Structure 1
Amino acid sequence: MNQKSKLTFGKILERFSYGCGDFGCNIIYTAMSAFLLFYYTDYADVSAIAVGTIMMVSRIFDGISDIIMGVIVDRTKSKYGKARPWILRMCIPFAISGILLFSVPASWASTPKLVYVFITYNLVSTVIYTAINVPYSALNALMTQDPYERSVLSIFRNLLATAGTLTINTFTLPLVEHFGNNAAAWTKTFVVFGFVAIVAFLFTFFGTKERVRASENSGETKAEDVPFVTGIKALFKNKYWIMMTGMLALFFLMYSVNGGATVYYAKDILGDKNLVGTINGIFNIVQICGMFFIAMMVKKLGKRNVFSIGLILDIIGMLVLNFSGGSMAIIVISSVIRGVGNACGGATMWAMVSDTIDYGEWKTGCRTEGLVNSACSFGYKIGNGIGSALLGLILEIGGYVGTAAVQTESALTSIKICFVWIPIAVYVCGLVIMKFYHLDKEFDGIIEDLKKRAQK
């Protein structure tokens, strides 16, 4: 383990550069969560239940590719490190795949359209997104081993991720309108976003540095020498990794359902689809502002407690929204509360995942940043896939019809379930999981023990 693991040069620039990676990732991720199903149903004229099924089935392939990519990252050797080379290699394919995702040929028959959706969706999620996001997720643990610095990096990651989400939520529909408000307009919109994503990833590649290495003494095993089966067994001896993977799976299920339902909620409950920008804009701006205060809270209260506070605020914000009666003032209040809550959660969640890597090394002698993050990615992508299918299924059961001028009462209820009540259930589950998470209290002792092993 390299003891020079703190960020020592150009901290602000390096933190910003690290965060740019999630800005780039969110160009596609937010688009897939918030607008892809809407694009399929209302512009490409594809069945919601068929698309939801494709998304869920595709997560099986996606999960396998995550594990493979994690092993590849752990075995990557280059002058740039383990993770950074993949960010450079995949940034252009990432942009191209995003454009193809929103380029369903509108004139095709239903079956060829579904084939196209299946191929392009898997190209993005199973291959390209995995090949850039798994290395990026591993980068935090490779840049520093200082727990506070990890928290700050996680804050910058979430700050820039939120900026990416804000960018997509604010500019997607206006750009689509600008380019003609038809199926082809979505393609042109994502050509613009693709260039933005490439620039963001290049910032990450050139602005960051990998410093942390596995301990080489006292029986510790280098990540590149860990057999795959041994690495998997080590993961399931890591109780905190199991907790965080379960948490991520639930959260990304919720993000998928809630994010995908936002445009429906704005259009059919509030009566104006352009309110997506208002609802998410306020939410994201508050979240970004909240990030500047989270580091102080983490230092005083610890990551687990800050995360739990965020969950409570998220629940309150959702309840306020549900009983807003369509009042814009109350909707704004709800977005502010949820923005603060999400700042607490987003700023700590990924740092907590990185901490489980050190716990796993201390517990089992195996340090596998790539495998840990890819297995987490597998968990949350399964959650995301189930969420996508769940959204389509609930809308289908509720009788939602994309071309209908007015939706039925059951369709409106299904939208409320997706946008409000499923997130509340997930936040409650998160609070239960956090009841058993005690790594914050144990972490300093674990790091000291690992340092002693490295010095023997």
Structure 2
Amino acid sequence: MKLSRREKVAYGVGAIGKDMVYAFVSGFLFYYFNTVLGISATFIGIVFMGARIFDAFNDPFMGIVVEKTNSRFGKFRPWILIGSILNAVVLYFLFSMPTSLSGNPKLIYAAVVYLLWGITYTMMDIPYWSMIPAITDSGKDRESMSVIARSCAGVGFALPTALTLTLVTQLGADNKREGFRYLAIIIAVIFVIALTITASNVKERNRFQGETPTIKDMFRALVNNDQALIVVVSVVLFNASLYLTQQLALYFFQFDIGNEELYSVFGTVGGAAQILAMMCLPIIRKKFEMKLIFTGAIVTAICGYIFLFLLGTLNVTNLILLCLAALIIFIGFGLATVSTTIFLADSVDYGEWKSNQRNESVIFSLQTFVVKLSSAISVLLAGIGLDVIKLDVTAETQTEGTLLGLRLLMTILPLIGLSLAVYIFRKKYRLTESFLKTITKENKERFIMHREMRRMDKVLSEKEIDEILYHASYGVLSTIGEDGIPYGVPISFVHEGNRIYFHSAVEGHKLDNIQFNNKVSFCIVTDVETIPDQFNTKYMSVILFGTVSEVSEEGKTKVFNLFLEKFSHEFMESGKDYIKKAGKNARIFQIDIEHIKGKGKKG
């Protein structure tokens, strides 16, 4: 499935808009609630974590809702538009708490509006990311789309990180409360425009879904997709590490360095490094497998944190050296972020291969949940940590112990998280490139086999199919050879259970083809009657797909007897004598039926 340049650009624009919102909320809402509104850091952390526990149920449910949507605009685009508009409205109220509120009403307002923001963001984010596996195939096409999306998301994330504090000061005329409110309005408008561009220009592709699953089936598919869960655990660990640094960096520059506006420089360097790393992935990809790239990315980030830890331990506050640490850390996170998007998309293919259900939205609901869960964990740790080290947001200076604790929170905890992430991933993730090629090939074959009939009124029942298989004398076996040329040959057959049996000479064209590729199709047509005056034909037909294997010597007698019962049942004894003489010059093969369907015009 090739995407046009227009579609790629439109999808990237959406990533910029939505990640501007996410960066604004995840990077500055904690700071806004804590330092501008004066809400306790521990309370904020608990509220954010509680909202994520709610998301543990809401996100997969939203994935299921999207999966079951079947509108004339598709299943993804309607939710992208609805979610972006609602989330933009909630974003405004999130940064526009009435000044009349205080005490418990203030806390309730903050908690409820933040919960609503998470719900409405999920409505947009799950269908957005779910489009990647739905509109691309695994391999270069998917990797290219993931790089575009994640690079643009990096741009969107970097913009608020670099400009928020400056714009808040300018828009609010030194009134941070008003500055945040005006900036929220600007970001909300950009957000809606960007996602409207995506929904208007990216065309949805129809993909085989198998039978429509129940909610229970989809939760089972989610739990049983072990590779998706491994990716999720790894992402939670390394994202929580990244977000913890981002949450505390603003406090670090304000209270340790003494200049909070330098945070913009730190964030800009980190954001630029992250985007550059994402854009370089296709080049790196030419020499290394994705699993190795991900491992190298995490190790790179670990090295950056070790460097940052040494700077903190030695009380080095030189901005150039701190930005160098940011450069190393965010290069690692840039590569890892794109990698995990690709891994999660690949796990959708794996889930289809394993369970015969392609649940993009359910699996990608994990990505939205994981990002928010990681953010919540980091905020909870940051909130409790800031209170434990006794950081006073109203004080102009902090104690040495407080500053040391701040540096340790920024380095040691992320190091632990990253080390666990790379260990779990290396040990449990097994979707190698060769395995993915096999999965993609088999999924495409299954898609061809399961294509729905255009005329559903002609579909035959299982009973009618069985009748045709029992009474028909012959069918056409279709194979393909090493030269790529298809070959169809009429053969007599018998049917028992989920298998078709046929006999053959010891060598021949069809056997050469079967040896090259044992996947075949078999077609039977019976009860054919032309209707000249109606320019039509009555018929009954069956087509099946399956794999061929040879029946062992021990099983040949049973199959020969099935042929006698079907074609020569009045001459069983003489037939058995004939088989004893001629059977050694024949080979018996079976087709294990993987999919079968019937079609007919009865009257």
What TM-score results when the alignment is normalised by the length of structure 1?
0.92
Answer yes or no: is 1:170 the counterpart of 2:131. no
SS of residue in 1 equivalent to 2:96: coil
Q: How much does 1:72 deviate?
A: 0.8
Q: Is the 8 A contact 2:303 2:328 kept in 1?
A: yes
- Name whichever of 36-45 and 17-26 sits farther off: 17-26
SS of residue in 2 equivalent to 1:213: coil
Shift of the 228–375 alpha-carbon distance from structure 1 to 2, 3 Å rule, reads farther
SS of residue in 1 equivalent to 2:432: helix
Within a 5 Å distance, the mapping from 1:129-208 to structure 2 comes to: 129-178=121-170, 179-182=172-175, 183-208=177-202
Q: Which amino acid aligns with 1:414?
A: G
SS of residue in 2 equivalent to 1:301: coil
Q: State the match for 2:267 in structure 1.
A: 280
Answer yes or no: is 1:455 the counterpart of 2:448. yes
Q: How much does 1:258 deviate?
A: 2.0
Listed as ranges, the gaps of 5+ residues in structure 2 are 450-603
Q: Is the 8 A contact 1:151 1:298 kept in 2?
A: no
Q: How much does 1:411 deviate?
A: 2.6
- Measured against aligned partners, the alpha-carbon deviations of 1:106-155 in whole angstroms (never above 9, x if no partner) come to 44222111011011101101x21110011112111111123222111111
Q: State the match for 1:348 in structure 2.
A: 339
- Measured against aligned partners, the alpha-carbon deviations of 1:222-261 in whole angstroms (never above 9, x if no partner) come to 4xx1111112222222221110111222233224322211
CA distance in 2, matches of 1:137, 1:251: 19
- Measured against aligned partners, the alpha-carbon deviations of 1:69-95 in whole angstroms (never above 9, x if no partner) come to 101110111233211221122222222
Q: Which amino acid aligns with 2:419?
A: V
SS of residue in 2 equivalent to 1:35: helix
Could you say what the CA RMSD is over the residues aligned between the two structures, in angstroms? 1.8
- Name whichever of 319-328 and 424-433 sits farther off: 319-328
Answer yes or no: is 1:44 the counterpart of 2:37. yes
Answer yes or no: is 1:81 the counterpart of 2:103. no
Q: State the match for 1:97 in structure 2.
A: 90
Answer yes or no: is 1:432 the counterpart of 2:423. yes
CA distance in 2, matches of 1:91, 1:379: 19
Q: State the match for 1:218 in structure 2.
A: none
- Structure 1 or 2: more strand by fraction: 2
- Name whichever of 409-418 and 82-91 sits farther off: 409-418
Q: State the match for 2:305 in structure 1.
A: 318
Given candidates 191, 205, 213, the residue that maps to 1:211 is: 205
Q: Which amino acid aligns with 2:73?
A: Y
Larger Rg: 2
Q: How much does 1:334 deviate?
A: 1.7
Q: State the match for 1:301 in structure 2.
A: 288
Q: State the match for 2:318 in structure 1.
A: 327
CA distance in 2, matches of 1:331, 1:207: 41
Q: Which amino acid aligns with 1:354?
A: A
What TM-score results when the alignment is normalised by the length of structure 2?
0.70
Shift of the 433–16 alpha-carbon distance from structure 1 to 2, 3 Å rule, reads farther
Q: Which amino acid aligns with 1:6?
A: K
Q: State the match for 1:412 in structure 2.
A: 403
CA distance in 2, matches of 1:25, 1:415: 30
Q: Which amino acid aligns with 1:428?
A: S
Q: Is the 8 A contact 1:252 1:381 kept in 2?
A: no
Shift of the 410–16 alpha-carbon distance from structure 1 to 2, 3 Å rule, reads farther
Q: How much does 1:375 deviate?
A: 3.4
- Name whichever of 153-162 and 353-362 sits farther off: 153-162
Within a 5 Å distance, the mapping from 1:55-74 to structure 2 comes to: 55-74=48-67
CA distance in 1, matches of 2:174, 2:432: 50
Given candidates 315, 324, 330, the residue that maps to 1:339 is: 330
- Structure 1 or 2: more helix by fraction: 1
Q: Is the 8 A contact 2:138 2:440 kept in 1?
A: no
Shift of the 420–22 alpha-carbon distance from structure 1 to 2, 3 Å rule, reads farther
Listed as ranges, the gaps of 5+ residues in structure 1 are 216-220
Answer yes or no: is 1:370 the counterpart of 2:349. no
Q: How much does 1:282 deviate?
A: 1.0
Q: How much does 1:278 deviate?
A: 0.5
- Measured against aligned partners, the alpha-carbon deviations of 1:47-85 in whole angstroms (never above 9, x if no partner) come to 111111111112122222212210111011123321122
Q: How much does 1:454 deviate?
A: 2.5
- Name whichever of 185-194 and 145-154 sits farther off: 145-154
- Measured against aligned partners, the alpha-carbon deviations of 1:173-222 in whole angstroms (never above 9, x if no partner) come to 1111112232122101111111111122122112312225125xxxxx24
Given candidates 24, 27, 30, the residue that maps to 1:34 is: 27
Q: State the match for 2:576 in structure 1.
A: none
CA distance in 1, matches of 2:432, 2:94: 41
Q: Is the 8 A contact 1:70 1:135 kept in 2?
A: yes
Q: Is the 8 A contact 2:17 2:195 kept in 1?
A: yes
Q: More relative contact order in 1 or in 2 (CA 8 Å, sep 6+)? A: 1
Answer yes or no: is 1:6 the counterpart of 2:20. no
Q: How much does 1:267 deviate?
A: 1.1
CA distance in 1, matches of 2:242, 2:334: 14
